[in-house]
């Protein structure tokens, strides 16, 4: 990854603009520009054929002023320390935007989970958790799924941590399977959050979501659930993509049938209910709503001017580079920024953590209703801040977060 598209520098660039507009004092600015703790671990794992591989893993805690660090674990061959640092900082701002009492953390391991067996993934996960054991915990740092990890990975996290502390500690991780303390609604929570803010954004433009056209990049947890929920809400999802390719159907894709196809074949390519298209073209289709739901640096200075969507809802973290922001703004594209748009996941992770600590579990309706309350409130606060500071929604969201995190820092003071 070139420095030009370094996600940590992209975070710092937005932070700098927001801090200046907000009038953040210099000491706090310096604190927020770097994570408070970064851990690098080497993970020896015996592979199925008997040979040993040593993987590199990271856990970064950006800021814990508002509560324990919170953030996913990513398994991907392109993970870098700077990527994990950026993701941890975005978690600080995201938790503040939706007002859940957590700080920001993130983890990652450089590996290709698509080429590893379940046994290899389990051994890798257990060794990683054993190595970062001292800095995680229900009151310290609470991991969750991200790219390349899922509920099964979180179950191994729970078990490894619990074996070391000698008691079952299910609040150490969220996004777990239901039978061991997971929350109803967590699996689809990020997608549900995307749906909620897409509806709010369309309303702001005086338009309805029902009947609106949608394109979704990525068809993993975030992309597939966003597409499904938007489809069920009456929107017409006309294109989706993943690493296997991209497909399109102007009359609208049958998302339920597509999910079945992906479960069987592991990719959207070859789906009979649509025709193949060039993946890069998906981003520039003339749709009402574009959901980049795969990874960072997809909307750049190279393609931003060609984007025809009216609304972009950033399901992924960091899909838009700082250079692309002003181009989209000039073209009147309403961007719902990542730290608001994909915060449904961490919000229901918070609900899961609360349920674990209370030992009392909510019905799905309660989870979903509370999620709507949190997301709509956050959306309104972000746009009120945007108006107050006469800026764009991304910087508005950063300012809202900076205000909350810096207040917490002031209450607590610097311990020197």
- Binding flag, residue 91, ligand NAD (CB under 6 A): no
Distance CA 78, CA 117 (A): 19
Out of 61, 160, 342, 385, name the contact with ligand NAD by CB under 6 A. Answer: 342
Interface map 129-148 toward ligand NAD (x if CB under 6 A): ----------------xxxx
Distances from the Cα of 324 to the Cα of 20, 139, 327, 340, 386, angstroms? 20, 38, 5, 18, 19
- Binding flag, residue 347, ligand NAD (CB under 6 A): no
Distances from the Cα of 212 to the Cα of 196, 250, 301, 317, angstroms? 14, 12, 26, 24
Contact (Cβ atoms closer than 8 angstroms) between residue 144 and residue 174: yes
Residue with nearest beta carbon to ligand NAD: 220
Query: Closest distance between ligand NAD and the C-beta of residue 113, in Å?
Result: 8
Compare residues 136 and 227 and give the one whose CB is closer to ligand NAD.
227
Distance CA 397, CA 399 (A): 5
Out of 28, 47, 243, 372, name the contact with ligand NAD by CB under 6 A. Answer: 243
Interface stretch with ligand NAD, choices 239-247, 301-309, 362-370, 383-391 (CB under 6 A): 239-247
Interface stretch with ligand NAD, choices 60-68, 129-137, 238-246, 395-403 (CB under 6 A): 238-246
Query: Closest distance between ligand NAD and the C-beta of residue 32, in Å?
Result: 20
Out of 105, 345, 393, 396, name the contact with ligand NAD by CB under 6 A. Answer: 345
Q: Please spell the DSSP secondary structure of 37-77, one letter per residue.
A: EEEEEEEEEE-TTS-EEEEEEEEEEEE-TTSSEEEEEEEET
Contact (Cβ atoms closer than 8 angstroms) between residue 210 and residue 233: yes
Interface map 246-285 toward ligand NAD (x if CB under 6 A): ---------------------------------x------
Compare residues 143 and 315 and give the one whose CB is closer to ligand NAD.
315
Out of 316, 339, 378, 409, name the contact with ligand NAD by CB under 6 A. Answer: 316
106 is annotated as an active-site residue: yes
Burial of 30 (0-12, 13-18, 19+ CB in 10 A): exposed
194 Cβ neighbours under 8 A, 6+ residues apart: 222, 225, 226, 229, 230, 291, 293, 313, 315, 341, 342, 344
Helix (H) or strand (E) holding 237, with range, is strand 236-242
Angle at the Cα of 301 from the Cα atoms of 295 and 303, rounded to 5 degrees: 75
Residues 170-209 that bind ligand NAD (CB under 6 A): 190
Interface stretch with ligand NAD, choices 122-130, 195-203, 211-219, 393-401 (CB under 6 A): 211-219
- Binding flag, residue 8, ligand NAD (CB under 6 A): no
Q: Residue 275 in 3-state DSSP?
A: strand
E strands present in 249-358:
275-277, 289-292, 311-313, 334-336
Out of 92, 125, 153, 221, name the contact with ligand NAD by CB under 6 A. Answer: 221
Query: Closest distance between ligand NAD and the C-beta of residue 140, in Å?
Result: 21
Contact (Cβ atoms closer than 8 angstroms) between residue 35 and residue 71: no
- Binding flag, residue 315, ligand NAD (CB under 6 A): yes
Compare residues 220 and 396 and give the one whose CB is closer to ligand NAD.
220
- Binding flag, residue 337, ligand NAD (CB under 6 A): no
- Binding flag, residue 83, ligand NAD (CB under 6 A): no
Which of 70, 85, 94, 106 does the annotation list as catalytic? 106
Query: Closest distance between ligand NAD and the C-beta of residue 40, in Å?
Result: 20
Interface stretch with ligand NAD, choices 155-163, 288-296, 324-332, 355-363 (CB under 6 A): 288-296
Q: Binding-site residue total for ligand NAD (CB under 6 A)?
A: 24
Retrieve residue 99's tokens.
């007002």
Continuous H helices in 63-117: 81-97
Q: 107 pairs with which residues across the strands?
A: 59, 73
Site of interaction with ligand NAD (CB under 6 A): 145-148, 190, 217-223, 241-243, 279, 293-295, 315-317, 342, 345
Question: Annotated active-site positions, please?
Answer: 106
């Amino acid at each position: 990854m070139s420095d030009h598209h370094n996600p940590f520098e992209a975070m710092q660039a937005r932070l700098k603009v927001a801090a200046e507009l907000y009038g953040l004092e210099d000491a706090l600015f310096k604190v927020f520009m770097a994570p408070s703790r970064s851990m690098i671990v080497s993970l020896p794992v015996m592979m199925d054929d008997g040979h040993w591989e040593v993987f590199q893993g990271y856990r970064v805690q950006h800021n814990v002023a508002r509560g324990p660090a919170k953030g996913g674990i990513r398994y991907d061959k392109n993970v870098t320390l700077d990527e994990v640092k950026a993701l941890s900082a975005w978690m600080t701002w995201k938790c503040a935007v939706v007002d859940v009492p957590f700080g920001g953390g993130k983890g990652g391991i450089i590996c290709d989970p698509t080429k590893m067996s379940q046994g290899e993934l389990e051994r890798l996960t257990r060794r990683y958790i054993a190595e970062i054991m001292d800095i995680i915990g229900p009151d310290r740092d609470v991991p969750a799924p991200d790219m390349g990890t899922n509920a099964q990975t979180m179950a191994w996290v729970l078990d490894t941590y619990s074996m070391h502390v000698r008691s079952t500690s299910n609040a150490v991780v969220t996004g777990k399977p239901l039978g061991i303390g997971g929350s109803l609604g967590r699996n689809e929570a990020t997608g549900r959050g995307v749906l909620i803010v897409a509806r709010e954004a369309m309303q702001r433009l005086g338009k309805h979501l029902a009947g609106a056209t949608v394109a979704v990049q990525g068809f993993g947890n975030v992309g597939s659930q966003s597409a499904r929920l938007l489809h069920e809400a009456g929107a017409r999802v006309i294109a989706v993509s993943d690493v296997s390719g991209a497909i399109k159907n102007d009359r609208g894709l049958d998302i339920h049938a597509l999910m079945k196809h992906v479960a069987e074949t592991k990719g959207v390519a070859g789906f009979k209910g649509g025709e193949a298209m060039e993946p890069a073209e998906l981003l520039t289709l003339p749709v009402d709503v574009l959901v980049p739901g795969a990874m960072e640096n997809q909307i750049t200075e190279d393609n931003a001017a060609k984007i025809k969507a009216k609304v972009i809802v950033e399901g992924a973290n960091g899909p838009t580079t700082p250079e692309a922001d002003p181009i989209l703004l000039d073209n009147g594209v309403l961007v719902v920024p990542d730290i608001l748009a994909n915060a449904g996941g961490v919000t229901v992770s918070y609900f899961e953590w609360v349920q674990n600590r209370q030992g009392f579990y909510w019905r799905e309706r309660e989870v979903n209703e509370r999620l709507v309350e949190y997301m709509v409130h956050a959306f309104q606060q972000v746009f009120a801040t945007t108006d107050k500071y006469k800026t764009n929604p991304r910087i508005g969201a950063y300012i809202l977060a900076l205000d909350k995190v810096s207040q917490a820092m002031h209450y607590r003071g610097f311990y020197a």
